[in-house]
A = this chain, B = another copy of it.
Amino acid sequence: MTDSPDFEITLRIYWEDTDAGGVVFYANYLKFFERARTEWLRALGHGQEQLRLSESAMFVVSDTTMRYRRPARLDDLLRVTVTLAEVRRVSMTLAQQAWRGDELLTEGTIRIVCVDAGTFLPRSIPNAITTALPQK
């Protein structure tokens, strides 16, 4: 990773994350990536439950592209990154990676769309969030 990410979290692999292959079940990296995005938004000042209650706004995932390079195992400590790749009126695209030490395990691109929490129809990302985003 040549450039430093906008944000990162550290997380531990537990039994719940693994499968009978002895490694982390691949679908769970989507959960890890989401934990990182959630903490990134929180660090920008926006909890998602509060966003839903105060603005009736919710982010839903519309597109994911994931590449699984190396497996993680029980007890591993992973570093999961978030880098803002693109912001549009109703959506954002994030580039994310999972690392164990200096080994890149999994990487992906996640597009999230801002929707109304009641109707699920797309709506503009709240100003409070767009103004807090890193300038690219």
Q: A-side interface residues toward B, CB under 8 Å?
A: 12, 14-16, 18-23, 25-28, 30-31, 34-35, 38-39, 42, 47-50, 52, 58, 60-68, 71, 73-75, 117, 120
Contact = CB atoms under 8 A, between A and B. Distances in A.
A66 B60 CA distance: 13
Give the secondary structure class of A's interface: mixed
Nearest to A38: B14
A16 B27 contact: yes
Contacts of A20: 15, 18-23, 73-74
Given A14-B31, A27-B31, A68 B61 contact: yes
23 contacts: A12-B35, A12-B38, A14-B34, A14-B38, A15-B19, A15-B34, A15-B48, A16-B35, A20-B22, A20-B73, A21-B60, A22-B22, A26-B61, A26-B64, A27-B28, A42-B75, A48-B74, A48-B75, A49-B73, A52-B74, A60-B68, A63-B66, A63-B68
